């Protein structure tokens, strides 16, 4: 398109006068403008068709069946009572077996009780099924046998994955998300996730745009922003999947103490939490 006038006049077999030049340019403009718009529209058309294909594939998938049972009277195990809302279990798994393929269970005969306001830790090597256990609590993996009961009085659950997912926005936008902004709560989670020094070092502080999937941040910073977003949620149960994998030892100790310690953020809020990690230091 850009070279068409030059090539046209360069290969012309006869001398062009003023009238011929203007006539040729008129023809070239009439041809190149529609063709240019057509070529610019091709990527949009391809993108639109691809999006429609993805939507169609999503609509054709099977409906998600939440096997978890919601009850106001969550069954107690080991003789614990359930009448006290502040002390009763928030999630109970009874004889649960979970796996994607029949006969090939990842977790078998699982009996777990998560009490309200407690910290439950699952420690094991990589590939031992910790992430699968987190998804079992969330109802995101098939349950072949057993029963998962969640307290209907505590319907809100937050999840922090081991692979952070961040939006192309500022640090503040990624932490607050779609929740109303609460300055005191925001300051709490920033302190707990040890993000104060990082935000002070960034050119625009908390309003620094971190790029697609947090490309402007290091691995540890991305993990702590994801952790702060989970802590900002007003949830009754928080599930953390190997969130210390990208942190150095000193940062890991400080974040653990501020979030999960005896005087940590979750203990002060009386929020139930499940922490899966391969770090034996904790």
**Shared-domain flag, residues 106 and 198:** no
Give the domain CATH number at 270.
3.40.50.300
pLDDT per residue as tens digits for the range 135-174: 999 988 888 889 999 888 777 889 999 888 899 999 999 9
- Distance between CA atoms of 178 and 134, rounded to whole angstroms? 23
258 part of a folded domain:
yes
Number of other residues whose CB lies within 10 A of the CB of residue 158: 18
Find out whether 159 and 236 touch, Cβ atoms under 8 Å. no
- Do 162 and 206 belong together in one domain? yes
Specify whether 52 is located in the same domain as 73: no
Q: Which residues, including other chains, have CB under 8 Å from residue 265's CB and lie 6 or more apart? A: 188, 189, 192, 231, 258, 259
- Same domain for 265 and 167, yes or no, is yes
Indicate the pLDDT class of residue 83, thresholds 50, 70 and 90.
very low
**Does 101 lie in the same domain as 35?**
no
Tokens of 1: 């398109």
172 and 272 fall within a common domain: yes
Q: Is residue 121 in a domain?
A: no
Say whether pLDDT at 6 is over 60. no
Residue with tokens 């899966």: 276
| Tokens found for residue 280 | 């034996």
CB distance 167 to 173 below 8 Å: yes
Pair 247, 223: CB distance under 8 Å: yes
- Residue-wise pLDDT for 193-232, tens only, equals 999 999 998 889 999 999 888 888 898 999 999 999 999 9
pLDDT digits (tens, 9 = 90+) for 31-57: 777 878 888 889 999 999 999 999 999
Q: Does residue 192 form part of some domain? A: yes
What residue numbers bound the domain in which 245 lies?
157-277
Which three-class secondary structure state does DSSP give residue 239?
strand
Q: For residue 80, what pLDDT is reported? A: 42
Number of domains in the chain: 3
Q: Quote the pLDDT of residue 75.
A: 53
One domain for residues 110 and 147: yes
> What is the predicted pLDDT for the residue at 48?
93
Q: Are residues 161 and 272 in the same domain?
A: yes
Give percent of the chain above pLDDT 90. Answer: 44
Q: Which three-class secondary structure string do you get for the chain?
A: CCCHHHHHHHCCCCCCCHHHHHHHHHHHHHHHHHHHHHHHHHHHHHHHHHHHHHHHHHHHCCCCCCCCEEECCCCCCCCCCCCCCCCCEEEEEEEEEECCECCECCEEEEEEEEECCCEEEEECCCCCCHHHHHHHHHCCCCEEEEEEEEECCCCCEEEECCCCCCCCCEHHHHHHCCCCCCHHHHHHHHHHCCCHHHHHHCCCHHHCECCHHHCCCCHHHHHHHHHHHHHHCCCCEEEEECCCCCCCHHHHHHHHHHHHCCCCHHHHHCCEEEEEECCCCC
């Amino acid at each position: 398109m850009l070279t068409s006038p030059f090539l046209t006049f360069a290969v012309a077999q006869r001398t062009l006068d003023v009238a011929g030049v203007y006539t040729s340019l008129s023809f070239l403009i009439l041809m190149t403008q529609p063709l240019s718009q057509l070529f610019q529209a091709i990527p949009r058309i391809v993108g639109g068709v691809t999006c429609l294909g993805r939507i169609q594939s999503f609509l054709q998938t099977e409906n998600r069946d939440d096997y978890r049972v919601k009850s106001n009277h969550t069954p107690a195990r080991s003789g614990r009572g359930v009448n006290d809302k502040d002390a009763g279990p928030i999630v109970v798994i009874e004889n649960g077996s979970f796996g994607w393929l029949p006969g090939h269970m990842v977790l078998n005969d699982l009996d777990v009780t998560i009490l309200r306001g407690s910290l439950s830790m699952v420690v094991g090597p990589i590939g031992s099924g910790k992430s699968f256990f987190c998804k079992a609590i969330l109802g995101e993996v098939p349950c072949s046998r057993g029963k998962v009961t969640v307290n209907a009085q505590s319907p809100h659950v937050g999840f922090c994955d081991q692979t952070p997912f961040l939006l192309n926005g500022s640090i503040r936008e990624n932490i607050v998300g779609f929740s109303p902004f609460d300055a005191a709560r925001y300051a709490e989670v920033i302190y707990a996730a040890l993000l104060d020094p990082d935000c002070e070092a960034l050119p625009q502080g908390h309003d620094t745009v971190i790029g697609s999937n947090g490309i402007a941040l290091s691995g540890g910073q991305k993990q702590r922003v994801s952790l702060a977003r989970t802590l900002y949620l007003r949830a009754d149960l928080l599930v953390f999947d190997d969130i210390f994998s990208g942190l150095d030892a000193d940062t890991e100790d400080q974040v653990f103490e501020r979030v999960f310690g005896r005087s940590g953020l979750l203990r002060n809020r009386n929020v139930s939490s499940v922490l899966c990690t391969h770090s034996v230091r904790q």
